[in-house]
Amino acid sequence: MHGQTGGFFALKQVGYDIWRALDDEPELARICALLCAEYAVSPDECRSSVALFAQQLVDAGFAEYA
C-alpha cells in the first residue's frame, strides 16, 4: 500500500520475486538472469515482462529510478 496515495498493489509469486530482487539488485538484466534460472521463461520474454512490471511500479508510485 502506498502511504501517500493509498494505492494498493497486489503481487503474485513472480511479481513478489521481482519486488524483492529490486531491493538488492538495481539491474533488471541481473534480475532476469535470476528469474530465468528459477522459472521456465526465455530471456527475451523475461526482459520484456520485468521492464513492464518495473515501469508499472514506477507509474503507480511504488518505485522510482535511481
Q: In one letter, which amino acid is 56?
A: Q
pTM comes to 0.74
> Is 6 part of a structural domain of the chain?
no
> Is 26 part of a structural domain of the chain?
yes
pLDDT band at residue 44 under the 50/70/90 scheme: very high
Q: Which residues of 17-30 are buried (b: 16+ CB within 10 A; e: fewer)?
A: bbbebbeeeeebee
Helix count (H) and strand count (E) of the chain? Answer: 3, 0
Tell me how many domains the chain contains: 1
Cell 527475451 sits at which residue?
Answer: 44
Q: Is it the case that residue 17 has pLDDT exceeding 80?
A: yes
Other CB atoms within 10 Å distance of the CB of residue 50: 20
